[in-house]
Amino acid sequence: MLDVFSRAAVTADASNKTIGGGDLAALKEYIASGNRRLDAVNAIASNASCMVSDAIAGMICENTGLIQAGGNCYPNRRMAACLRDGEIILRYVTYALLAGDASVLEDRCLNGLKETYAALGVPTTSTARAVGIMKAQAAAHIKDEPSEARAGKKLRKMGSTVTGDRCASLVAEAGSYFDRVINALS
Ligand SMILES: CCC1=C(C)/C(=C/C2=NC(=C\c3[nH]c(/C=C4\NC(=O)[C@H](C)[C@H]4CC)c(C)c3CCC(=O)O)/C(CCC(=O)O)=C2C)NC1=O
């Protein structure tokens, strides 16, 4: 498991180089935007249970066969396993966002997941859909712009001082981790 700092050292070492100016500039940016990054992690982590239940519910609304006999969210034991998997995936995305590096997500969550799902008959397109919904929710929460239309009474704002487009790089980075999950399953 690596973070931006250990990644810089490992990458430089692999080519017998010292850590250069460009690498240091990237690390400096990571440090300078540290509070924003922590806010982004907090925005996801604090809304995680709502995000997961909403994403799984959305996935099922679009494909109700999942909760009928023969569907992979039937019976309740499988529904619970699915919700738990949504939580696991979201948790590892927050770790990657904190570290600024995807290795924790790749090594501890995605490694072998496609094969496990194939063995258990868990439909990966449905999982990818739930992950895609969580990606959209995460973007809204990092920007602190959850939509009234979608959140309804559950609308919750973090009160972040840096919002909207000023969070674009963190939104994009978080999005890239969700994309890794989707790519690992397809
Ligand atoms: C730390 C990392 C980690 C991951 C990622 C993980 C995933 C994981 N999900 C599993 C099962 C499962 N995963 C699902 C998930 C779903 N079914 C659907 O229809 C949906 C599309 C989807 C939810 C989005 C289900 C239903 C099972 C149980 C399948 C079964 O037992 O038949 C299993 C098999 C063992 C078990 O049931 O607990 C593993 C290992 N476990 C871990 O320790």
Give the tens place of pLDDT for each residue, 46-73. Answer: 999 999 999 999 999 999 999 999 999 9
Distance of CA 46 to the CA centre of its chain: 13
**Which atom in ligand 1 lies closest to the alpha carbon of residue 130?**
24
Query: How large is the average pLDDT for residues 87-107?
Result: 98
* pLDDT over threshold 90, residue 176: yes
Domain count of the fold of the chain: 2
Q: Is the CB of 109 under 6 A from ligand 1?
A: yes
Q: Are residues 79 and 142 in the same domain?
A: yes
Average per-residue pLDDT in the chain?
96
d(CA 106, CA 98): 14
Nearest CA to ligand 1 atom 7: 85
Q: Are residues 27 and 57 in the same domain?
A: no
d(CA 11, CA 142): 29
Q: Are residues 63 and 149 in the same domain?
A: yes
> Which domain CATH number covers 163?
1.10.490.20
Distance of CA 2 to the CA centre of its chain: 17
Q: Are residues 79 and 139 in the same domain?
A: yes
